[in-house]
């Protein structure tokens, strides 16, 4: 299957399969040279979902990824364009994020999946589910990594090629994230993507913020009233970091003497 030429999976409502058979001929997610069964962990299967063989065909899906289909890597993961087949539908491309073989990396991937599961914002990748190998292996270090499935969102930005309006838009996305009670916590260039192919990504603008493995949720910090100021300062600091990434002029704060 030529994964590179597949169309993107449409982001319209889709019944996510409850189980996935993952085809990994190049051993990218485990050293087991066979297809691996996964089950959906998030969004949590509802009681109406069924694993019974009679269940609707879309309860079962398939995922194909190869060494050649890798599109990115970070300190904690490898990221692949993967062919996703749901029920009888034609294959379509999604992004499959796979943790490297370290427990901390798996914990970050799970945290990121929880963040996506709770986020309803148009400028982050659409979440297509978080799947874990099934049955679970006793030795979690050597077992295949869980897989986070996301919408493919284009290329890393080139700050030198962005207009002032583009930069203002990216800043506004981070403000919206903060207003939604989330700090991204790794506002690097590699985590701001632009889809130059999209027609403004269905009205959402072409920019996407990714990588929520280190994200901090305001609620999870149980920010008491008196610490609101601390949260506001953390948000302001993140905005300053984004401005640095975008090579924007920094405002000189009152009383700041430089150095």
The SS3 of residue 14 is coil
Segment holding 99, helix H or strand E: strand 92-99
User: With binding defined as CB under 6 A, does residue 119 bind ligand ATP?
Assistant: no
Contact 209, 124 (CB under 8 A): yes
* Structure token digits, residue 207: 């920019």
Which CB sits closer to ligand ATP, 71 or 234? 71
244 is a contact residue toward ligand ATP (CB under 6 A)? no
> How far apart (Å, rounded) are the C-alpha atoms in residues 85 and 62?
5
CB of 153 to ligand ATP, least distance (A): 4
* Contact code string over 151-180 relative to ligand ATP, x by CB under 6 A: xxx--x------------------------
Question: Is position 247 annotated in a ligand binding site?
Answer: no
List the one residue from 190, 198, 221, 239 that touches ligand ATP (CB under 6 A): 190
**Residue in 83, 132, 177, 193 binding ligand ATP, rule: CB under 6 A:** 193
Residue 69 is a binding residue for ligand ATP (CB under 6 A):
no
Instruction: Specify the pairing of strand 155-156 against strand 216-217.
Output: unpaired
Q: CB–CB of 98/77 below 8 Å?
A: yes
DSSP classification of residue 112: H
How many residues touch ligand ATP under the rule CB under 6 A: the total is: 22
Among 17, 61, 74, 133, binds ligand ATP (CB under 6 A): 74
Stretch that binds ligand ATP, among 67-75, 128-136, 169-177, 223-231 (CB under 6 A): 67-75
CB 6: neighbour CB atoms within 10 A? 20
Span near ligand ATP by CB under 6 A; candidates 5-13, 21-29, 169-177, 186-194:
186-194
CB closer to ligand ATP out of 59 and 212: 212
Asked if 71 interacts with ligand ATP (CB under 6 A), we say yes
Peptide bond into 43 cis (omega under 30): yes
**Residue-wise DSSP of 125-178:** PPEEEEEEESSPPS-TTTSPPPEEEE----EE--GGG--HHHHHHHHHHHHHHH
Residues that bind ligand ATP (CB under 6 A): 71-77, 79, 95, 125, 150-153, 156, 186, 190-191, 193, 210-211, 213
- Bind-site residues for ATP: 97
């Amino acid at each position: 299957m030529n994964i590179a030429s597949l169309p993107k999976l449409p982001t319209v409502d889709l019944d996510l399969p409850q189980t996935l058979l993952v085809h990994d001929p190049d051993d990218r997610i485990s050293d087991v040279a066979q297809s691996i069964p996964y089950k959906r962990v998030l969004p949590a299967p509802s009681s109406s979902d069924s694993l019974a063989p009679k269940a609707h065909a879309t309860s079962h899906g398939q995922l194909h990824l190869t060494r050649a289909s890798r599109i990115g890597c970070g300190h904690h993961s490898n990221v692949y364009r993967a062919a996703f087949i749901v029920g009888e539908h034609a294959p379509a491309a999604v992004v499959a994020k796979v943790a490297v073989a370290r427990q901390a990396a798996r914990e970050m991937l799970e945290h990121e999946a929880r963040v996506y599961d709770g986020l309803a914002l148009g400028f982050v990748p659409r979440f297509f589910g978080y799947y874990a190998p099934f049955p679970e292996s006793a030795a979690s270090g050597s077992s295949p990594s869980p897989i986070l499935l996301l919408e493919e969102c284009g290329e890393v930005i080139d700050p030198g090629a962005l207009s002032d309006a583009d930069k203002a838009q990216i800043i506004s996305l981070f403000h919206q994230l903060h207003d939604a009670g989330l700090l991204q916590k790794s506002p690097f260039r590699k985590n701001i993507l632009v889809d130059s192919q999209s027609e403004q990504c269905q009205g959402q603008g072409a920019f996407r913020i990714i990588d929520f493995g280190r994200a901090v949720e305001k609620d999870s910090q149980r920010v008491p009233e008196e610490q609101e100021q601390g949260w506001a300062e953390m948000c302001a600091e993140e905005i300053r970091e984004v401005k640095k990434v975008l090579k924007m002029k920094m405002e000189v704060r009152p009383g700041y003497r430089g150095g």
